[in-house]
Structure 1
């Protein structure tokens, strides 16, 4: 009799547990459906992006446009009725491009072919009359060592290693060749080069040069050499012409200039948590951009998607357990000052951050998320995957998260990055065609909905480290 009673109790417990689980899943499914409906039928992100892109434009760190973007997003967050909205001061570099760059390939006296270039962010200018010299083509830093000062001194080094086209993950392809842009001038100057030209980080052939950050390390200012990117079509032409005429000369003129650091701001808005007001969840993107386009994909999309998370929580009357912050970081592109300052202030104030999500991979169709976390937290996150599958979010992977939230990393926090389809991203990245017309409204809104859904689940269920601390 006791055994039958025990079996009946066990069966009742199992049925009750299954019923509770089904109810939870039903609640979560309904919430995600409401989030997606709100994003697609009553979204705000596309309008915000329209203003950032078309009314303000490229938001280079330290520029007037960056200052206007700070004021605009602060005002829009205040309109949402958040519990707190504030600016966090941060010192940022100020570098200007000046009048457009000019370049040509000279194959003989009076025989020139114009080519499209742009100065790399942080580069020094050429001399007032421009710079003309013979060219030596290399694929990597090992080639510099092989050629040595004897063959490089007095020449322009032409880095021509393309992104690896057979890699499906285009960010992996980008990572495989971006060192030549970032450290190319620093390395070439060691061998007496007078300037560098770098093949644009772009998978397709076009006439658009792509800028990006570069570094001179600790080289004195007087010894720094000018650095520019050349379009992929220009790189192909220069390379093929060099094979026919190794003594050709390359001329370029750029008028960029660096100024002392200036004050700027991270823009922060918060909904205070009902249960854990001193535990923080962050969602964000970077407010600055390069100046050639208007920064719609990089990273206007991430900014407005992050703002949309808090807007939808307010519209849906969802009251989070944790304090949820949107952080619009300043100076990701050429310094990461905003991300570092936010993390430094969080540490100084001993703020407990449990989760951070970043969107900085463009406003394309979302495919999933990558997570920087331990096995226990990733197992919990993977259990939510069926909730996302109706929205075609299938990719939950371990890996990187985002540059601006990276400085928050410690043993307790879970970091994540939105992962949209990346195949078209580097067609626009840091180029003049990173513009509002390249963003699809529906794809942008789907990304915001996916981010809001993940923030909701992380807030509702918490992290494994939180649960462990509660039990203790």
Structure 2
């Protein structure tokens, strides 16, 4: 009888705990959806500040604004963490056309890739050679490439449901295209925009020259998917056509910027840290609403939701708004460096950098034991249609915090529309749905609450 009583007591305790967690999550979601702040913050960040390229005036305005807003929340600590960041400027708007015969031209949409050098004064005009891989480039050799513009035209794989996998499958042509093409004497590079949709928006993004000297570097630009298709069709009919483009971008000296950090100090385990964050910088073509204004305001909202819901964390909860994810990851590296110097124990780090779309779940970088603990919480999220709990990639900014014992995670929203906006001029506030954004913030706050309540798996 005593054994049965103990089993009944254990069942009652577990059931009560689960019900309590369900109630807390219900409060978090209700607060976010009926009294949320994330959308208003994003409105200001996008429409009053705009694109926040590292080292720019807008990036510094974003630092000031988010610090002030975090201070209004009544957190225990809010501070700026200095970090030196690269300063690349786009210059005058780019211009390009296809020339099929002398004086017969068609204007097309391009944008310089982040980190590219400018074209020569007056622009660059040359014949074009189209390839879909570095292997094709090598097979053509210097005799077929020297003095020409290389056009990398490998599209994202449309039949992959995970669009980030499709992105990863062709991002090397953008990042290292100029580096590879320069080996064969190319004078410039065009890259098909990394976008599954056919439209007229060129998508920028980071690129590298490796250790090439300045004299060996060649200008690199992205071309919209519609115009990439058109250029490819025209080349099939006329391999002697020429392409002209002009861009005035330049790399300046590094400048000082900041990570923005706010903290609720833990009541029981103040030296165990849980962080939630996104990157405050963005590219300059749009206003960075999805990438990563959404992640920034959702991360800020996590701490506000915890306070509004009456939750007093056991562990110290930090929001970290990282600077320079897009073209250097300097903010993430600096935060991890300082954390290591101080011996801080970061048990859980959550990142939002996949847009402000409907949340589907999380991917976790952790041990099997910690992942099994996470799976016991999955039922709590099913009423909100959050079913995706998988081991996998977490995020670029939390990556440097990885250890053998901690858990890194990334919010996983529906990804089907993300690359329609990624790094392009249409990544603007009007592309973000208020309810979807608020659902994401509540989902993040709920997972943070559970890790704070239960810690790591024993």
TM-score, structure 2 as length reference: 1.00
Q: Displacement of 1:316 after TM fit?
A: 1.7
Which residue is 2:414 aligned to?
A: 421
Q: 1:81 aligned to 2:67?
A: no
Q: Which of 423, 438, 451 is the equivalent residue of 1:445?
A: 438
CA deviation vs aligned residue, 1:299-321 (integer Å, no higher than 9, x gap):
00000000001011111221101
Pair 1:99 & 2:75 matched: no
Which residue number corresponds to residue 225 of structure 1?
Answer: 218
Quote the offset at 1:271 in angstroms: 0.2
After TM superposition, the structure 1 stretch with the greater mean CA deviation from structure 2, 311-320 or 49-58, is: 311-320
Matched position secondary structure for 2:141:
helix
Name the counterpart of 2:391. 398
1:411-439: CA deviation from partner (whole Å, max 9, x where unpaired): 11100000000000000000000000000
Offset at 1:10? 1.4
Q: Secondary structure at the match of 2:222?
A: strand
Is residue 81–residue 260 contact of structure 2 (8 Å, CA) maintained in 1? yes
Structure 1 residue aligned with 2:319: 326
CA distance in 2, matches of 1:47, 1:454: 23
Question: Aligned partners of 1:220, 1:13: CA distance in 2, in Å?
Answer: 74
Which residue in 2 is equivalent to 1:386?
A: 379
**Matched residues in 2 for 1:277 and 1:416: separation?**
21
- Is residue 291 of structure 1 aligned with residue 284 of structure 2? yes
User: Which of 61, 69, 72 is the matching residue for 2:54?
Assistant: 61
Q: Is residue 2:126 matched to residue 1:133?
A: yes
State how 1:297-308 maps to structure 2 within 5 Å.
Answer: 297-308=290-301
Distance (whole Å) between structure 1 residues aligned to residue 84 and residue 387 of structure 2 = 40
- Given candidates 133, 152, 161, the residue that maps to 1:168 is 161
Instruction: Name the SS for the 2:360 alignment partner.
Output: strand
How far apart are residue 155 of structure 1 and its match? Answer: 0.2
* Counterpart position of 1:5: none
1:198 corresponding residue in structure 2: 191
**Which residue does 1:36 correspond to in 2?**
29
SS at match of 2:209: coil
Q: Deviations over 1:126-169 (max 9, x none)?
A: 01110000000000000111000000000000000000000000
Contact 2:177/2:189 (<8 A) preserved? yes
Quote how far apart the aligned CAs of 1:334 are: 0.2
- Check whether the contact 2:367–2:405 (CA below 8 A) recurs between aligned residues: no
Counterpart CA distance in 2 for 1:275 and 1:155 is: 65
Runs ≥4 in structure 1, deviation > 6 angstroms?
Answer: none
- Once residues 48 and 367 of structure 2 are traced to their aligned partners in structure 1, the CA distance between those partners, rounded to angstroms, is 43
Per the normalisation by structure 1, the TM-score is: 0.97
Unmatched tracts of structure 1, length 5 or more: 1-7, 468-472
Q: 2:209 maps to what in 1?
A: 216
Displacement, 1:298?
0.1
Give the CA deviation at 1:13. 1.2
Aligned residues: 458
User: What is the aligned partner in structure 2 of residue 363 from structure 1?
Assistant: 356
Out of 107, 113, 138, the position equivalent to 1:120 is: 113
C-alpha separation in 2, matches of 1:440 and 1:256: 33
| Distance (Å, rounded) in 1 between the aligned partners of 2:372 and 2:313 | 23
> Which residue among 233, 250, 260 is the counterpart of 2:253?
260
Give 3-state SS (helix, strand or coil) of 1:204's partner.
Answer: coil
For the residue of structure 2 that corresponds to 1:418, the secondary structure is strand
Which of 230, 244, 254 is 1:251 aligned to? 244
Distance 2:124 2:396 in 1: 35
Indicate whether 1:432 and 2:425 are aligned.
yes
Equivalent residue of 1:150, what SS?
Answer: helix
Cα distance between partner residues in 2 of 1:43 and 1:267 = 21
CA distance in 1, matches of 2:95, 2:246: 5
For 2:65, the equivalent position in structure 1 comes to 72
SS in 2 for 1:455: helix
Cα distance in 1 for residues equivalent to 2:161 and 2:310: 40
Q: 5+ unaligned residues in a row in structure 2: which ranges? A: none
2:227 corresponds to which of 234, 237, 243:
234
Distance 2:197 2:309 in 1: 42
Shift of 1:9: 1.5
CA distance in structure 1 between the aligned counterparts of 2:115 and 2:102, rounded to whole angstroms: 33
Give the Cα–Cα distance (whole angstroms) in 1 for the partners of residues 352 and 375 of structure 2.
Answer: 20
